[in-house]
Amino acid sequence: MNASAQVQRRQKPHVVVVGGGFAGLRAVRALRHVDVDVTLIDRHPYNTFYPLLYQVATATLNPGDITYFLRAVRARQKNMRFVNGTVTAMDHTAREIVLDNGGVVVYDHLVVAAGVAANYFGIPGAAEYALPMYTRTQALAMRDAIFTKLEQAAVSGQESDLRVVVVGGGATGVETAGALAELRNNDMPATYPELDPRRTHITLVEMLPTVLSPFVQRLRDYAHRSLRRRGVDLRLGAAVKEVRPDGVVIGDDEEFLPAGVVVWASGVTVHESVSKWDLPQGKGGRIVVDDHLRVEGLDNVYAVGDIAAETGDRALPQLAQPAIQGGQYVGEQLKRKLQGGEEMDRFEYRDKGILATIGRSSAVAQIPRVPPLTGFPAWVVWTAVHLFYLLGGRNRLATMVNLGARYLFWRRNHNAIVGDTPNIRVKRGPRVIESGGEHGRFRDQ
């Protein structure tokens, strides 16, 4: 072991938190005023606000709008330090965590909040050819892939129809499909006059007979109608059988849908590396915990957020609110334990509702003790909640400005936040652009 790479034991109790997402950061912050050393470990140097990743992927927000520098947390929490690295192994007898850079972090108390990754369910070709959207890098890859296809079609004269297939009818899939439909309907006529929007298709594939299955029927029906009004091609009750480089095979009749981009928004699973962490795993690979979110068989180890599965019939939904509340609970539990207090009662998740937006002034909100909301009122709630939970005032301001420009001035503002596209080459011989009238056009030379 390289001694210089090892984080030695300290005189104060040492709490290590693996994962800087909703759950991990909330646990860290709960220990702000406790006489303890806190080390946060994450493979990325930033926190990502996952509910708005699709806005990055569809060119409305900058990636910096929804990410927060994890080292900046220390400005308000002096007992916290950050270590950038990927956990490769854990030894709970020695209370050691091994990182990919060879470093070893020794803990007294451990909180595992490492999040999840895309679940491809063993579908052939999905991992190779579909684009997931669970990291900033993946969202940017999806954005660049979409605009590359548009630029290629604009140069080549749209020799064939364009299609983006979104796999998954949950909130992420519905929000992505709605945003892409609005990009086609509102922006493409102004920004891509060479293309025919009627030959650009947004298809949402869902194996269940409805979208947004966790919502009540009224909200499902509203979302269905709203997507239809935006021209989204809904393929419900159709499972994906295979993903190919040029499209997907769906349904029992194995219909092939040609597609330039396939977006994967169809479920999550824990990272494969968790199997090397010497932790008990249950359904879907999620870490098994008791009613106090303590990992079974390990008194000083907790698991929170999407990576954790409660025992019995108390499995929590893999959403932001259970992660936030679980992280706060574990932080408070550790605070009591370190200060000699009594153990808290078992963790109780307080359902604050679920939200999804379909597009401008169109959303659904299912909030306890409130009638189901649709349309503009639900969209206002969705916007306010997302701005509230963003980290940092700069992020909130930037997101508010960009969303405002997108949704309030949609008739005049067609600017998209784009990245690089590869050099576009015309396949059928040399062409020149003729300027004339309102639009230029291509002609063969």
pLDDT at 163 over 70: yes
The answer to which of 154-163, 176-185, 207-216 has the lowest mean pLDDT is: 154-163
Distance CA 311, CA 237 (A): 31
Residue range 193-211: mean pLDDT, rounded: 95
pTM, whole model, 2 decimals? 0.89
> How high is the pLDDT of residue 2?
45
Distance CA 441, CA 164 (A): 25
Residue 178 in contact with residue 362, Cβ under 8 Å? yes
Question: What is the tens place of the pLDDT at every residue in 314-337?
Answer: 677 778 899 999 999 999 999 999
pLDDT at 439 over 50: no
Class in CATH terms, 3-43+85-116+270-338: alpha beta
Boundaries of every domain in the chain: 3-43+85-116+270-338
Structure tokens at 99: 């990182």
Distance CA 328, CA 169 (A): 30
Please report the beta strands in 181-237, taking only residues with DSSP state E, as ranges in sequence order.
200-206, 233-236
Torsion of CA 224, 229, 232, 238, to 10 degrees: 30
Structure tokens at 356: 């999804």
Query: β-strands 373-374, 431-434: how paired?
Result: unpaired
425 vs 156, more confident: 156
> How high is the pLDDT of residue 444?
40
What's the Cα-to-Cα distance from 442 to each of 66, 158, 187, 200, rounded to whole Å? 39, 11, 21, 20
Residue 113: which of 271, 332, 265, 267 has the closest Cα? Answer: 271
Question: What is the tens place of the pLDDT at every residue in 110-120?
Answer: 999 998 889 99
Under the banding of pLDDT at 50, 70 and 90, the label for residue 408 is confident
Q: Annotated catalytic sites, by residue? A: 175
What's the Cα-to-Cα distance from 37 to each of 29, 76, 86, 337, 369, rounded to whole Å? 12, 14, 20, 14, 41
